[in-house]
Structure 1
Amino acid sequence: MISFELTEEQKAIQKMARDFVRKEIIPIAAEYDEKEEIPWQVIEKVFKAGLMNLHVPVEYGGQGVDFITEAIVAEEMAYGCLGINGTFGNNALALTPLLIAGTEEQKEKFLKPFCAKPNLAAFCLTEPEAGSDVSAIKTTARLEGDEWVLNGTKCFITNGGVASLYTVFATVDRSKGIKGITAFLVPGDTPGIYGGKKEKKMGDRASHVAEVILENVRIPRENVLGEVGSGFKIAMQTLDQTRPMIGATAVGVARRALDEALKYAKERKQFGRPIAEFQAIQFMLADMAMQIEAARALVWKACWMLDQGMKATKEGAMAKCFASDVAMRVTVDAVQILGGYGYMRDYPVEKLMRDAKITQIYEGTNQIQRLVIGRELLKD
């Protein structure tokens, strides 16, 4: 029998996250969107509340929750602000390769100190000429004695330049294509790694997205993750686990937009009555609500499969793709319902619409998600 009933523990953490968002994030979200800065005081509070590093096992200092619980929290946090959530939520993306392919010694060495305080991590895969085409990576790694030497430039990296730990993907031999790609662990204080240009973004502004530049960065030989040449596989396995979380954050953004549209429609009067009484508005609200419910169901299914130890490449891509498309449609409709006010920064829906767009792009554009889904269908 299938059940959608949350456990008592899941209900408790959902309430804790919801209360935290209403108290600590919603009141300052517009301010930091305008400043385009990370609210560091909120990151510290998230850490103290135990709502950070949810996916990291307890023995290494994390919370050790299951994927569905992680998705529940991600939805609540993104309801408050996608950018703020992305700052600390990005740790899941950057640390998952270590959880997948790291040795016990690597996990002990990097995870425990990392989780001892509110540190941030960065996942360094994308490059100026290597976005969807990972095989085009130009960042190089060469072995010199007992050290790896890394050189290259990464772009569009969340927490780039402010992270305490970087998971860097580089090639040991470009002629091998994806078979030359290897993953490395680079502490943020390693000489030669630093942040470059900070991006000015349409939305998602309360997160720090920048270039990461590596100039003769030397790390110990043992900082390679998995086998040499297994980096592409590690990256794809990581995305299988993290794409449903992008879906969860998209659901959070869409749900917030629906709530704002509902509130406005009940208060705004035209022709002598609230616009919520007009069928045209009710149909829009109904469509928004249906799409959100369907998106959440896809996210939870993908997470449930991961919790069962099942392969969820197709389902994760579906969850991310569908939910982010829903977030875009719902936020656009919310702006439409608010009319002229929806276009103004005094109301939150214009920010929600700007934020929603990035969910269709990062961790693989939705065109790439459809490619992944199609290939998985043909395999089946």
Structure 2
Amino acid sequence: MTPDLAEHETAIVNEIERFADNVLRPQAAAIDEEARFAIAHLQALGDMGIMGMNLPEAYGGVELSGPALYRAVELIAGACGSTASMLTAHFLATDSLLIGGDEALCERFLPAAADGRALGAFALTEPEAGSNPADMRSFAAPEEGGYRLKGSKCFISNAGAADFIVVYAKTDKAAGARGVSAFVIEPKQMEGIEIGPHEKTMGLRGGHVFSLTFDCHVPAENRIGAEGTGFRTAMKVLDNGRIEVAAQATGIAAAALNDAIAYAKERKVGGHPIADFQGLQWMLADMATDLAAARALGHQAAAKRGGRDRYSTESAFAKLYASEAAWRIADKALQIHGGYGYTRDMPLERYLRDLRIFRIYEGSSEIQRTIIARGLLA
């Protein structure tokens, strides 16, 4: 079930659904098999305005509402998880600018990001600072005209092809989270930025992630917001990102459920479709209930997106439940397919591999439980 959308949003979502079905889905297996970077779809996504769905019209974006954006991401992920991963990583970068940056910085980077001319990346995670970004070691020291940025990041989606990367680093080592600031670096133009080969991941094999190291000069005008505001910006960005992870999870889960239903109607045992068997019907009922609950939490969080009030708890609810429910749904879908589901000729094993990371990145399930508990106990 999708919340009511404005008429123009419905038209956009319908166009995205056609694109997902006709372009993304037929290529998804090959992208996974060949570990082909999903930026192959970048220009088409840009031409359709999809790269700027989260941005206001003033910066060339489509400015979809939270619920419409949720549905769009869900459709893309259901067709190709790797493409959705590349897209939403780009959103993390542009949201960082939109939330924390001044007008001049937004005007420099966002119009090109909105139409696909520039790809963004979001660099927060470090080898020894994952679930607790306040432990980061990357540091930006003042120097003439800006900062000397030194450090390293890991598991950074899109970094190998990014035109701009939002990097979070300490400007005050003694201040903990309050000492974190945000900067935009341009790896294709700045010296001192090294990006490693993409990691060989279990799933989302076309949504490439990279390590990067840097010892580079960053102009003062590339700082996002005031010094010390970076951590607050990152947490607001992740509130949005976790809703998008939930949308990706429910999109893949919906694809798995639809495949299971179709197979159950076709597959016969003893002359009867296996859909006639009560045990299997109950499996499908549980899958559909899990999906409906995950979507409800996702829609609840998405409806708050862009509002004045924080929605950290709602986004944590959505990501936690959707990422874990989607795994259950895809696992049952594979079980319904039996031995055929275990082969790589069917997409079930890809769904499971793609879904596994959702319980880890942008805040693990354990971190989501911590966020929820803190809200309860505040």
Aligning the two structures, in what range does the TM-score lie when normalised by the shorter sequence?
A: over 0.9
* Rounded Cα–Cα distance in structure 1 between residues aligned with 2:37 and 2:161: 10
Aligned to 2:102: 103
Q: Name structure 2 gaps, 5 residues minimum.
A: none
Query: Which TM-score applies when normalising by structure 1?
Result: 0.96
Match for 1:193: what amino acid?
Answer: I
* Rounded Cα–Cα distance in structure 1 between residues aligned with 2:326 and 2:120: 26
Match for 1:347: what amino acid?
Answer: M
Shift of 1:273: 0.8
Q: Is the 8 Å Cα contact of residues 3 and 299 (structure 2) preserved in structure 1?
A: no
1:304-315 paired onto structure 2 within 5 Å: 304-315=303-314
Aligned to 2:194: 194
Aligned to 1:203: 203
Q: Is the 8 Å Cα contact of residues 38 and 83 (structure 2) preserved in structure 1?
A: yes
Q: Is the 8 Å Cα contact of residues 126 and 156 (structure 1) preserved in structure 2?
A: yes
* Rounded Cα–Cα distance in structure 1 between residues aligned with 2:28 and 2:127: 30
Q: Is the 8 Å Cα contact of residues 76 and 84 (structure 2) preserved in structure 1?
A: yes
27-36 vs 181-190, which moves further: 181-190
Shift of 1:354: 0.8
1:168-183 paired onto structure 2 within 5 Å: 168-183=167-182
Q: Is the 8 Å Cα contact of residues 49 and 114 (structure 2) preserved in structure 1?
A: no
Aligned to 2:81: 82
* Rounded Cα–Cα distance in structure 1 between residues aligned with 2:139 and 2:307: 37
Q: Name structure 1 gaps, 5 residues minimum.
A: none
Query: Which TM-score applies when normalising by structure 2?
Result: 0.96
Deviations 1:39-89 (A, max 9, x none): 444221111122222111111111111111111100000000111111122
Q: Does 1:42 align with 2:44?
A: no
1:106-255 paired onto structure 2 within 5 Å: 106-189=105-188, 190-214=190-214, 216-255=215-254
SS at match of 1:141: strand
Q: Would you say how many aligned residue pairs link Structure 1 and Structure 2? A: 376
Q: Is the 8 Å Cα contact of residues 24 and 42 (structure 1) preserved in structure 2?
A: no
* Rounded Cα–Cα distance in structure 2 between residues aligned with 1:27 and 1:130: 38
Deviations 1:323-360 (A, max 9, x none): 11111110111111111111110001110011111111
Q: Is the 8 Å Cα contact of residues 81 and 248 (structure 2) preserved in structure 1?
A: yes
Q: 1:10 to 1:115 in 2, by over 3 A?
A: closer
Shift of 1:310: 2.7
* Rounded Cα–Cα distance in structure 2 between residues aligned with 1:56 and 1:374: 32
Q: Is the 8 Å Cα contact of residues 162 and 195 (structure 1) preserved in structure 2?
A: no
Shift of 1:116: 4.5
Shift of 1:117: 3.6
Match for 2:206: what amino acid?
Answer: A
Q: Is the 8 Å Cα contact of residues 88 and 120 (structure 1) preserved in structure 2?
A: no
Aligned to 1:61: 60
Shift of 1:227: 1.5
* Rounded Cα–Cα distance in structure 2 between residues aligned with 1:32 and 1:114: 23
Deviations 1:250-274 (A, max 9, x none): 1101000001111111111112211
Shift of 1:7: 2.9
SS at match of 2:154: strand
Match for 1:28: what amino acid?
Answer: Q
Q: 1:86 to 1:19 in 2, by over 3 A?
A: same
* Rounded Cα–Cα distance in structure 1 between residues aligned with 2:310 and 2:173: 29
* Rounded Cα–Cα distance in structure 1 between residues aligned with 2:286 and 2:155: 33
Shift of 1:322: 0.5
Aligned to 1:10: 9
Q: Is the 8 Å Cα contact of residues 161 and 194 (structure 1) preserved in structure 2?
A: no
Q: 1:7 to 1:295 in 2, by over 3 A?
A: same
Aligned to 1:73: 72
Q: Is the 8 Å Cα contact of residues 88 and 244 (structure 2) preserved in structure 1?
A: no
Q: Is the 8 Å Cα contact of residues 47 and 115 (structure 2) preserved in structure 1?
A: no
Aligned to 2:291: 292
Match for 1:261: what amino acid?
Answer: A
Q: 1:118 to 1:279 in 2, by over 3 A?
A: farther
* Rounded Cα–Cα distance in structure 1 between residues aligned with 2:180 and 2:213: 18
Shift of 1:110: 1.8
Aligned to 1:361: 360
99-108 vs 9-18, which moves further: 9-18
* Rounded Cα–Cα distance in structure 2 between residues aligned with 1:136 and 1:245: 25
SS at match of 2:322: helix
* Rounded Cα–Cα distance in structure 2 between residues aligned with 1:263 and 1:116: 37
Q: Is the 8 Å Cα contact of residues 250 and 326 (structure 2) preserved in structure 1?
A: yes
Match for 1:194: what amino acid?
Answer: E
Aligned to 1:348: 347
Deviations 1:131-152 (A, max 9, x none): 0011211111111121211111
Deviations 1:103-160 (A, max 9, x none): 1111112212333544211100001111001121111111112121111110000002
* Rounded Cα–Cα distance in structure 2 between residues aligned with 1:234 and 1:308: 15
SS at match of 2:201: coil
Q: Is the 8 Å Cα contact of residues 168 and 183 (structure 2) preserved in structure 1?
A: yes
* Rounded Cα–Cα distance in structure 2 between residues aligned with 1:13 and 1:168: 32
